[in-house]
Structure 1
């Protein structure tokens, strides 16, 4: 994660471990490294449905402590699916990994 203030470590904030913290922007990240594009459309919908509640919870926990929250994904299709499911989530396509 670029600009991760603690590379190689999870950040435990408000009872939850996050994948990265960028202190300069007060941003917590959850990174999804799934091969989303390789799954069938049915499996993709199921995956989004199963993960969405936890991502929304992580967003609330981060914001309650004054942090921004971003979900990092490895494909544009995954980003699009998450944005459709919840337009309030900030989702970043991680083209660097």
Structure 2
């Protein structure tokens, strides 16, 4: 995949058509937000949501990894919910 992301290898038209068919999207889906393309309202292709960028960065941090590993090991759903409530109460900005 990295070869395709970096442009070392290319995806041919027939392969791109097959991928689009499997994902049930038009081929144009992969070119949304490309330079010179008009944006289609409500459909941003694979563009990441800005709010998700923060979550992804946190999950990749040492603290995020430790927290996630420990959290998923808690078997009791009620305890996990209480931990979420605790963290929300400790955070200065409680925006969801």
Higher Cα Rg: structure 1 or 2?
2
Q: Which has a greater percent of strand?
A: 1
Q: Which has a greater percent of helix?
A: 2
Q: Judge same fold: TM > 0.5, yes or no.
A: no
TM-score by length of 1: 0.25
TM-score by length of 2: 0.26
